[in-house]
Chain A
Amino acid sequence: MGGTRTGHMLTDMQVVESLQARDKEAFRSLVERLEQPIIGYLHRLVGDREVALDLAQDTFLQVYKEIGKMPEDLSLNAWIYRIATNYGLRYLNRKKLRSFIHLDASEDYHPSFAVEGPEGQAETRVLVEQALRSLKPEDAACLQLHYGDGFTYEEIAQILRLSPEAVRKRVSRGVIKFRASYGTAPRKQL
């Protein structure tokens, strides 16, 4: 993952220059290159495919609009992930508020949603997802970026504007909470 990002370094600089000159073809190739990982990241973060697609569109529109404000010390990928994370966290916080006053139906995953698969993998997947949903959005974002997208703690620190120590603590807090939730999740009677 890291290698891929480094490989795009020079191209990214050129892309930024092209985008600043409002080159639509350069932007199109950027979206084509990054849409799958960004949608995938948002899907894992927010847990809803449709919302992830919607937020990914907003992310790229924001990239196009705000490209002139991109921090110089940040790579283009990291900056796009930062925007996507902000959209994802905003959605999760709003969802939390809506759930708090019972405007959203509880969206806990239920083992009955599990699709039967070989060797109980489907149930494990559902339980892992359920446990990950119990994390704080900020911790979940760190976990998704690290485990899902392969970013190092230093890269996550850049994306989220945190210190590497803070990322270390968030990932650790997330994994410990995940472990506790996963360990206590009800298993289907086999």
Chain B
Amino acid sequence: MSSHRPPTSTRASWKANNGGQHPSDDLLLTYVRRQHLDNLIEIEQHVAACSTCQGKCNEFQQSSRLISAWAQDKGLQFYPTITNTVMQKIVLESKLSPRKRMSGRLRQGYKYSLLEAVVQRIMGQEEARSRRQATDGYVSPLSPLTDEPLPGPFAELQKHPLPGEGQRPGTGRSRRARFTNRSIIALVAVAAIITFLIIGVVASPGVRTSIGGHSYSKGTAVTIPPHDYTSTPAKTKTPVTRTGSASDPTPTDIGTEPKIWLCSTQGEEKHYIIEICGSYFTPGHRVWLAAYGSDNITLPRTANSSGDIDITLSAVDGCHSVPLFITVLDEGSQKVAVLSNITLSSCPSKHH
């Protein structure tokens, strides 16, 4: 063990332990992580001679390896580009009147707040968000994303929960906790109504058109009037020919019949992210996409005002879990569109 006294700046970080002075945990971790230390040589000499500190350093190294590996693993994920959305918001915001800008700021403060949670709870949206969060934001190919009754043959699928679904935490609360929650919700709801009344008086026209609270959402296209911003859109939403995918319709194959096609980019496909786009659906109508493959799943979507739909799937098991084909059914369980021979550029053609 070293008998040197540490310099003033880190002297407080040396502590007496087991009959001698050892560097504190934060100094040892700093040493392990090779960060700047005023007294590096001294700590190095101490660690070389002290088995206790060597043990701690090993533990820190082990933990650091775990965290680094996890972070690297997360770093491999591909995220959809937000550049166009941000640019569109900037253009829109520059056109807003001061009053609408103010309401946008209010919406910004409201976002993710307690008040928003209360409102969402009241409106019954909280369940959907919790489910999304539980699956880490991915549209899971393992479970339907809705509690609403599915049509026709999918009603049976919905009756049987998938493994782990029934064990999700937070679903089995006690009666007392629910009563407490309801009381709190009722109280906060009154506050919410008063706040909304105030917001309504100050900036009611801006609340609906404000962009401050506009959030990115899968499956919901950002609706920007075409004359507002004319730069390249983030993703093509019309059928296009792409090499390496047999399922795409030809560019001339544009009609009025509903159709779906694979619109994920090469980069997304590399990360097994499958994006399905659809057009010519009845605006506002609900459809169900049934994906068949190693897992059979159904995903509901509502066509936007242009009659487009958009769904992103993550093939969590790689090529193995890429669906064989996808069928779109309307509310009467009628088949309205089919996408077959789904092949990702990153998967061999006979992956199934």
Contact = CB atoms under 8 A, between A and B. Distances in A.
B74 A50 contact: no
B181 to A, nearest CB: 5
B117 interface: yes
A104 B170 CA distance: 9
Given A54-B216, A103-B118, A49 B81 contact: no
Interface residues of A, number: 68
Given A39-B79, A125-B70, A128-B70, A113 B87 contact: no
Interface in A136-183: 143-144, 146-148, 152-154, 164, 168-169, 171-173, 175-176, 178-179, 182
B136 A47 contact: yes
A35 B35 contact: no
Which of under 10, 10 to 19, 20 to 34, or 35 or more describes the interface residues of B? 35 or more
Interface in B99-153: 108, 112-114, 117-118, 121, 126-127, 130, 132-138
A113 B117 CA distance: 24
B108 A153 contact: no
Interface string B29-53: 1100101100000000000000000
Interface in A8-43: 24, 27-28, 31-32, 35-36, 39-40, 43
Contact of B112 (A95, A108, A175): A95
Interface in A88-108: 90-91, 94-95, 97-98, 101-108
A170 B79 CA distance: 29
Contacts, number: 186
A83 interface: no
Given A43-B79, A48-B136, A148-B75, A61 B86 contact: yes
B231 to A, nearest CB: 8
B80 interface: yes
B215 interface: yes
Contacts of A53: 79-80, 82, 216
B30 A168 contact: yes
A175 B136 contact: no
Interface string A43-83: 11001111111101110110010000000000000000000
Interface stretch (B59-67, B238-246, B249-257, B325-333): B59-67
B135 A113 contact: yes
B171 A105 contact: yes
Contacts of B83: 28, 31-32, 35
Contacts of B180: 102
A129 B66 CA distance: 10
Nearest to B127: A105
Given A91-B112, A102-B181, A169-B26, A128 B82 contact: no
Contact of B108 (A58, A106, A124): A58
Nearest to A35: B82
Contacts of A36: 79
B225 interface: no
Contacts of B352: none
Interface string B168-184: 11110100010011001
Nearest to A37: B75
B35 A110 contact: no
B114 A132 contact: no
Given A43-B77, A148-B71, A179-B59, A57 B86 contact: yes
Contact of A112 (B35, B137, B167): B167
B163 interface: yes
A95 B113 CA distance: 8
Contacts of A60: 82, 86
The winner among A31, A153, A175, A182 for most chain B CB atoms within 10 A is A175
Interface string A124-135: 110011001000
23 contacts: A27-B90, A28-B87, A31-B83, A31-B86, A39-B82, A48-B132, A51-B112, A53-B82, A56-B82, A60-B82, A61-B86, A101-B114, A104-B126, A107-B130, A107-B170, A113-B164, A115-B317, A152-B35, A168-B35, A169-B26, A171-B33, A172-B25, A182-B66
Given A49-B138, A61-B89, A91-B112, 12 more contacts: A24-B90, A35-B79, A50-B215, A94-B112, A105-B171, A106-B169, A107-B170, A116-B317, A128-B69, A129-B70, A168-B35, A178-B63
